[in-house]
Structure 1
């Protein structure tokens, strides 16, 4: 066992083509997340799958019990891997994630998944605030186009803005190749 946990955040079907809330470059992010997941399984790192459901019949995506809320099969949990349900962007908020990590002596977390501007951001900041050493693998994360006050922001720029905000203060932000070659 190691002191590192891989946290796969919301890699769920609704974020992929044909889903209810499609993200840009989600297939690529999932492919890289799958590579990191395979590496974590080989090295014995703790693996935590975060599964988001929005408990409302009016939810635009991740409706409880829907196919779109299911974890994508390319990163599906295996026996013995933690699966934690959440209802808010921050994976630590009102979940058992903190207790689960603490019970295993985890001090380092690696975060991948979606959405960069929402759950990745919230979970990364919370992890850092809780004292974890955090690594975000940026090309194993995906974003969605955004709009604010009449300004359209393409997903690539949204992703870059959020990764730059996390880099340094909250996390070490690296790409998949560098992450895998450093481990």
Structure 2
């Protein structure tokens, strides 16, 4: 089991191409505002901040080095203080050093926010729980876009319900404390 006290904020795929693309995330401005508030609270308590970027194939909107691959410019992540890393799978753990960095920092709890709910947020919450981390899913600080089958709000509500309990504890952004 991981250390009982220390937590970290994990921000998933808040990238230009996903945030500013042709299909906007549900409540995009509110999402960015809430994540930035969480970043400020994490900083005030000296809680480590990790930010994942999805690195897509060459020519994709999120190809490494492209404008779309960059974290959103209004996201308050500081590359000099925070750990930015790339991934090319939905889970932030698959093929990355995230678990090593968390272990080295004695992190036992992950506060998860970002995009997209049904892919990377879901996969990361499940993987983190299986690895023994306590996962706090910020129920109003993850988002996605409408799909042909379901609108974004239905996807978010479904994943909050599905992940709550076996994989994560749901907390509203305003109630998160580090």
TM-score (norm 1): 0.89
- Name the residue aligned to 1:166: 163
The 1-side partners of 2:19 and 2:102 are apart by 29
Residue correspondence of structure 1 range 48-127 to structure 2 within 5 A: 48-57=50-59, 59=60, 61-78=61-78, 79-127=80-128
Deviations 1:75-106 (A, max 9, x none): 24321211111011100000010000000110
SS in 1 for 2:114: strand
Preserved CA contact (<8 Å) 1:116 1:163: no
- Name the residue aligned to 1:6: 9
Preserved CA contact (<8 Å) 2:39 2:76: no
- Name the residue aligned to 1:179: 176
- The aligned length equals 173
Preserved CA contact (<8 Å) 1:16 1:27: no
SS in 1 for 2:122: helix
TM-align CA RMSD: 1.5
- Name the residue aligned to 2:32: 30
Higher helix share: 1
Preserved CA contact (<8 Å) 1:20 1:68: no
Runs of 4+ in 1 over 6 A off after TM superposition: none
The 2-side partners of 1:76 and 1:32 are apart by 11
The 1-side partners of 2:171 and 2:74 are apart by 22
Preserved CA contact (<8 Å) 2:93 2:127: yes
The 2-side partners of 1:80 and 1:176 are apart by 22
> Gaps (5+ residues) in structure 1?
none
